[in-house]
């Protein structure tokens, strides 16, 4: 089973005025476990030639779904889904979707249309910039 990991990477960026600025970037990796995620992140650091880069944290995360149909930046969309349980009573099930969109308005419009097809009610509670710079999927060899 593949898992998702948010990984913060600290690195140095050389500015035009020759000063060095400390930067932090957040990446999402699909990996088997923490060790695998760390290895993949270090490979990404090497490929991107990040100056004095190192991993500052790794956190396992989960999303209901990752939607890549649009272009833009990554947004986390928090949703309450009103489902009927086995006893026939309504229960609220929170879910977080990760999606690419050009802005909050586009994300809202897409998700509103997305939920129209469901047989249950879904209410978007929040749409926020996830700060994720890039998503690295696990390569099956």
Decide: helix, strand or coil at residue 116: helix
Decide: helix, strand or coil at residue 107: helix
Q: What stretch(es) of the chain map to CATH 3.10.20?
A: 3-62
Give tens-digit pLDDT for 53-72: 999 999 999 999 999 999 99
The Cα 21–Cα 42 span in angstroms is 20
Please, which pLDDT band fits residue 140 given cuts at 50, 70 and 90? low
Q: Concatenated DSSP letters for 27-85?
A: EEEEESSHHHHHHHHHHHHHHTT-EEEEEEEEEEE--SEEE-SS-SEEEEEEEEEEEE-
Model pLDDT, residue 141:
58
The Cα 76–Cα 98 span in angstroms is 5
CATH class name, domain 3-62: alpha beta
Decide: helix, strand or coil at residue 131: coil
Please, which pLDDT band fits residue 85 given cuts at 50, 70 and 90? confident
Decide: helix, strand or coil at residue 16: coil
């Amino acid at each position: 089973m593949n898992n998702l990991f948010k990984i913060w990477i600290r690195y140095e960026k050389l500015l035009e005025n020759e000063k060095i600025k400390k930067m932090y970037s957040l990446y999402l990796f699909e990996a088997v476990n923490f060790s695998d995620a760390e290895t993949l992140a270090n490979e990404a650091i090497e490929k991107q030639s990040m100056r004095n880069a190192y991993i500052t944290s790794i956190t396992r995360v989960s999303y209901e779904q990752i939607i890549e149909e649009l272009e833009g930046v990554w947004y986390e969309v928090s949703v309450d889904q009103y489902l009927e349980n086995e006893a026939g009573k309504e229960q609220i099930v929170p879910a977080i979707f990760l999606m690419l969109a050009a802005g909050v308005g586009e994300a809202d419009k897409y998700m509103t249309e997305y939920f129209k097809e469901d047989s249950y009610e879904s209410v978007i509670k929040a749409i926020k910039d996830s700060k994720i710079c890039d998503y690295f999927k696990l390569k099956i060899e």
